[in-house]
Structure 1
Amino acid sequence: MEKPSVVHRQRLKRRAKRFTRRIMPFVAALFLATPVAAPVSKTLARTRTHQTLPTAEEMRATFLNQRFDKLYQAMNLEAQGLRFEVFEKAMTGYLNLKEADKLGGKDRLTVVDFSLPSTEKRLWVLDLDSKQVLFHTLVAHGHNSGENMATNFSNENESNMSSLGFYVTQAEYVGKHGRSLKLVGLDEGYNDNALKRAVVMHGADYVSEDFIRQNGRLGRSLGCPALPMDQYAQIIDAVGGQTCLFLNGNDASYSSHYLNQDIAAQALAAANTNTGQLI
């Protein structure tokens, strides 16, 4: 009777060892996971405790950014070289001017980016109603603003420099450059002397690809955003009559009360409610 008992006990031991080998990996995994699970739960609890709702300013900025990005994509502006941050500023100003009733009936926005060299096409005329780019072309900066790059800007008479900021186009006239378009600068201290300085849109033969090939840059104006001779008349027709023009440039000191996001959001929300359109 003793021998079978010994054999039986040995079999039980072998089974116990096999069971232990099989179960140990699961026990070890459970053991290792346990200390990790507690801190994670605490972290999530802390996150929920300290989570705050976005501020009205953050919600406003998000609303504008999403709407501007949708329009930016719909018009394929990145492929045409217009940076989103410049478009965003231009659109904010456009909506501020619209809310202030300073614009006419055309949903047109002209953007000039003087942070780009004169050898690049840095003027865009946008039809915000049809979501089309009407013109994308060259534009000159002021003689004393720089050579190929515009780095200096002024609002002073006889400075021969470009002036940054928001403008509203006015009536056209025929002057020494032929058909020209008057511009009213709206940013006090930055471009509000535009009419006194006779800063206007006009055509110039030094704004051309041929001039760039011969000189390595465009010719320069006395402060006017001068346009190519083969396009200036069509551009004047498209943007004349109280439309928005925004001249952007590398000047950290520039500021404008027309970059008010609160007013822009109100104008955009109103436009969406009244027409169902993006703008």
Structure 2
Amino acid sequence: MLATLVATAPSVDTRALGLALAARDCAVASGQASPDANLTLIDYSRPSTEPRMWVFDLASQRLLYAEHVAHGRNTGENMAQRFSNVEGSYQSSLGLFSTAESYVGSNGYSMRMDGLEPGINDAARARAIVIHGAPYVDPEQALRQGRLGRSLGCPALRQQVAREVIDTIKDGHLVFAYYPDEEWLASSQFLDCPAGRLARAAAEADAPSRG
């Protein structure tokens, strides 16, 4: 599956996608996700001026969306560097999330997420780390100013696509937010189960592989 998905999204980093698939396999094996769940990868190792969010339909092995996505204002400038699970940090969180309900709030049509990794992202709902559209997610403006606008920690999208993306991934799908943080990668429960270790080994055998 990994090679097929990479072929549909040649700019994706193979290691990041392989780890996302590993985490997904662990979540399915442990009953925390449906085998039919689609998978969203956010690669925070990429600059915000580039598309760094990919939504995959795993059943058909197709790429559905490739989008720009903002990070938290205290996570970094163009490049993300710092991550947190703490309320008021205004930083993005890493790890595996289960998508939840949509709602209309102060940022318009939005989608809540539940972090599945204790101490890493499990405060996401309490922190209101949600996916929503935002006017500051403007790729053309980002090129002029050297970065996208930044959120309070949410992975915000272009307003033009937010509703469509949210309706595709809400209610029990998976989001994997990646950064090469070795402490997190070594401790994540979703990368250290038998299914995850197999997928992770396959991915790392193919790295480095940025398109």
Q: Name structure 1 gaps, 5 residues minimum.
A: 1-70, 268-279
Q: Note the aligned Cα RMSD (angstroms).
A: 1.8
1:262 aligns with 2:194: yes
Query: Who is 1:51 aligned against?
Result: none
Q: Decide which structure has the larger Cα Rg and report it.
A: 1
Paired positions, count = 197
The equivalent position to 2:147 in structure 1, one of 197, 217, 235, is: 217
Q: Distance in 1 between matches of 2:65 and 2:173?
A: 15
Give how far 1:214 is off.
3.1
Counterpart residue identity of residue 124, structure 2:
A
TM-score by length of 2: 0.88
Matched to 1:256, the amino acid is S
Deviations 1:170-217 (A, max 9, x none): 111110111111000111111111011000000011112222133111
CA contact under 8 A between 1:178 and 1:202: conserved in structure 2? yes
Q: Which residue does 1:203 correspond to in 2?
A: 133
Q: Return closer, same or farther for 1:104/1:179 CA change in 2, 3 Å cut-off.
A: farther
Does the 8 Å CA contact 2:8/2:62 hold for their aligned counterparts? no
Q: Deviations over 1:83-118 (max 9, x none)?
A: 111111100110111122222464300000000100
Task: Report if aligned partners of 2:22, 2:198 keep a CA contact under 8 Å in 1.
Answer: no
Distance in 2 (CA, whole Å) between partners of 1:109 and 1:135 is 11
State the shift of 1:232 in Å: 0.8
CA contact 1:78–1:84 (8 Å) conserved in 2: no
Unaligned runs of at least 5 residues, structure 2: 200-211
Is 1:193 the equivalent of 2:115?
A: no
Match in the other structure for 2:175: 245
Paired with 1:162 and 1:111, the residues of 2 have a C-alpha distance of 14
For residues 235 and 174 of structure 1, the distance between their equivalents in structure 2, rounded to whole angstroms, comes to 15
Q: How does 1:30-49 map to 2 (within 5 A)?
A: none
1:127 has 2:67 as partner: no
Greater RCO between the two (CA within 8 Å, min separation 6)?
Answer: 2
Secondary structure, aligned partner of 1:222 = coil
Return the alpha-carbon distance in structure 2 between the equivalents of residues 165 and 178 of structure 1: 25
2:106 is the counterpart of 1:155: no
SS in 1 for 2:48: coil
Larger helix percent: 1
Residue 144 of structure 1 aligns to a residue whose secondary structure is coil
CA distance in 2, matches of 1:77, 1:176: 38
Runs of 4+ residues deviating >6 angstroms: none
Q: Distance in 2 between matches of 1:121 and 1:160?
A: 22
Partners of 1:179 and 1:105 in 2: CA distance? 27
Which structure has greater strand proportion? 2
CA offsets per residue over residues 29-57 of structure 1, 9 Å max, x none? xxxxxxxxxxxxxxxxxxxxxxxxxxxxx
- Length-normalised TM-score, structure 1: 0.67
Partner Cα distance (1:79, 1:196) in 2? 33
